[in-house]
Chain A
Amino acid sequence: MTLAMTLAILRAAFLLLLRDRGALLMALVVPVVFFMIFAEIFATAAGDQLQLRIAIVDEVRSDESTRLLAALTAEPAIRPVPAELTRESARDQVRRGTADVGLIIRADGENLATASGLAAPPLLLLVDPSRSVTATVLTGHLQRAYFKALPDLAVGRVAELIGTEFTTFTPDQQAEIAAGLRDLRAGAGTERPAGWTFDELVERDNVAGQNAALNNVAYYAGAVAFMFLLFAAAQSALGILDDQEAGILDRIAAGPGGIDVVVNGRFLFIVLQGLVQTCLIFGVAWLGYGVDLPGNFGPWAMISVSSAVLAAGLGLLLVTACQTRAQAQVLPTVVILIMSAIGGSMVPRFFMPHWLQQLGWATPNTWALEAYSGVFWRSEPALQLVPICFSLFGIGIAALGLSHWFGRRLVRD
């Protein structure tokens, strides 16, 4: 008897779920989509598939450097930035994020073949501190390429070390070593074991200067702020549907202001709420973590206002496009979660495969994050941020216009 009753409830719950497309979407479809996105990201990031866009500059152009770069760029995970670069332009590419990391085979360092560790290392990595993992990954690839392409140099350096620190080779032994090294060089490209560390050939240079840790905080402040701007906007926009259910919307729409005043009023509220929210997050980043908010206030304000406008417009559009409150609770959540995952609000975009990074540009999250990065990392002038801010602002206003159209549909039979 009790089991039958329990099963009756089970049946009712099952049937209700089947009839509630929103709940069905949230329960069955969204988790799978999310899993696919994160599987794609972390399969790439955790395995050896992390694809790196590298700004490469060969200032030496020696036989060794050419062989090293040929072996390195043959790695499937390495994608050189397709441009003839100088050290400064490579640094700029890394700062702007168009390259994940830079590699300079420098003329002002030791020779690759004879590096002793006493002067500047021959390889210089240009590293964005927010993506320091890329330098570690590149070092691994470099090491593999080095032993693959230049085994003679590697073993020669070991032999030299043994000869100077542990024993003195006889002329015959030295001749045998030289012959072996020639063989190694001739057989370059085959995997050989080696017992020598690579680190002394490499130096890291932080392209973001002294404030690396602070820049990381600024990145996440922007990422979190924008995602929650969107969530808060959608939540506040739901108030329109609450007013509709209560009949308030009908009452106001029948008055002289019509539905337009409701949509505009709600839009302004969401923009202001978003600004307060962004101020709070960046205020904590400034006061608690030392992010230079006062020094970048103008550009920051420009991005924050345009982001708040976009979030407000988008939130209203997503909600007014829905026919019922139940739909409006699901659709914006799904859209915002997916946009945030793809757009870099949850996981930094450089972790993502190339196609997903490109897809990110279809989300406002990427635009906003790139704009914040421009301010706090790359110290870009405000003028350079205008196109992104203008786009965010424009899309927000366009979304507001569409919300008006959907809003009129809400109250007119």
Chain B
Amino acid sequence: MRRFGERMALAGADLTARQGEILVLLGPNGAGKTTLLRALAGRTRLDAGSIRIGGGAPDERTVRRRVGFVPQTIALWGHLPVRTNLEILGRLAGLEGPGIAAAVTDALAWSGLAERASEPVERLSGGMQRRINIAAGTLHRPDLLLLDEPAVGLDPLSRQAIHRVLEGLRDRGMGLILTTHDLVEAEALADRVAVLAGGVVRAADTIPILVGRLFGADQEVLLMLAAEPAPALRDFLRTTLFSPTNEDRIWVGRLRGGLEQLPGLRSQLIQAGADIDELRVRQPGLHGVFVELTGQVPQ
């Protein structure tokens, strides 16, 4: 648990991360993802509760040797060459002697930036800088790599390149915990997802299990209204298994009994006074899980 003044940034998180898997912390802005990640990195003091990484507290020196941290910003010296950045950060991660050169060469190879090693970081593209940012966190071959929004602000191609890098690290046996508010990224990468809202981990598991647990055999229905619903309509929507979102005109619900039930639902909604702009039915997925658990529609 962690409180900043009046605001409860982290209210309840019961999570276990494993080596060789990617655990995605998913949630809307202000859900507590970064606070949880920083607590795992030993950068945020908890008011209550504890974190154990390999049996030790995150701020213990021996534990810090086993953890890599990749901040959301490009945490590198922009004026210095890529190789120099990695050499210095490798030393700071606890590497010594020839181990540094070997780790740097390896990191440059798997990040695909060996050709650009002598260039200042600031001259690289955004995607390349992100890859080096990640590589800098893995030089000491940590058991656990913590990444805060590792692909934020990138174009789709660069994002895919980052995803390949992260999958490669997982395949080497590293455990990865990363934050994102991007559902597509989470679906592409996550072995397991932990959905946070209001500083609480609402659920954590694989996507199919979460979908099955929340929707069963139901379909996901997305209702978009042309106008804000009246109180009577709100009550009706709640009784028909619709959940409100952060946008008054958008509601998410479930359709039981197959698609043939859709016309009936539509009639019921119209009779209840709904001015329907769009009524969409789809196979439930992470989107539905997110809306169900957080009450917010992802951007």
Interface residues of chain A, those whose CB is within 8 Å of chain B, are 245-248, 250-258, 261, 411-413
Contacts and interface: CB of A to CB of B under 8 A. Distances in A.
A254 B77 contact: no
A269 B179 CA distance: 36
B71 A247 contact: yes
Contacts, number: 69
29 contacts: A246-B73, A247-B71, A247-B72, A248-B76, A248-B77, A250-B43, A250-B69, A251-B69, A251-B89, A252-B89, A254-B41, A254-B43, A254-B64, A254-B67, A254-B69, A255-B64, A255-B69, A255-B92, A255-B94, A255-B140, A256-B62, A256-B64, A256-B65, A256-B93, A256-B94, A412-B43, A412-B45, A413-B35, A413-B43
A176 B76 CA distance: 96
B7 interface: no
A251 B70 contact: yes
Bin chain B's interface residue count: 20 to 34
A257 B68 CA distance: 13
A413 B42 contact: no
A411 B43 CA distance: 7
Interface string B187-225: 000000000000000000000000000000000000000
Given A248-B77, A250-B69, A413-B4, A257 B92 contact: yes
B59 to A, nearest CB: 8
A259 B221 CA distance: 50
B183 interface: no
Contact of B61 (A252, A256, A413): A256
Contacts of A246: 73-78
A248 B256 CA distance: 51
A96 to B, nearest CB: 49
What are the nearest 4 A-B pairs in CB distance?
A247-B71, A247-B75, A254-B69, A247-B73
A261 B43 contact: no
B175 interface: no
Given A253-B42, A256-B65, A413-B38, 9 more contacts: A246-B75, A250-B69, A253-B43, A254-B146, A255-B64, A255-B92, A256-B64, A257-B92, A257-B94
A251 B137 contact: yes
B82 interface: no
Specify which of A250, A258, A411 lies most central, judged by the most chain B CB atoms within 10 Å of its CB: A250
Nearest to A251: B75
B44 interface: yes
Contacts of B65: 255-256
A290 B77 CA distance: 43
A261 B42 contact: no
A366 to B, nearest CB: 38
B61 to A, nearest CB: 5
A412 B61 CA distance: 15
A248 B67 contact: no
B136 interface: yes
A251 B78 CA distance: 15
Contacts of B45: 412-413
Contacts of A247: 71-75
Nearest to A257: B92
Interface string B132-161: 000011001000001000000000000000
Contacts of B78: 246
A248 B121 CA distance: 13
B19 to A, nearest CB: 18
Nearest to B146: A254
Contacts of A251: 69-71, 75, 89, 136-137
Contacts of A254: 41-43, 64, 67-69, 146
Contacts of A257: 92, 94
Contacts of B61: 256, 258
A142 to B, nearest CB: 63
Interface in B7-36: 35
- Best-buried of A246, A247, A253 by chain B (most CB within 10 Å): A247
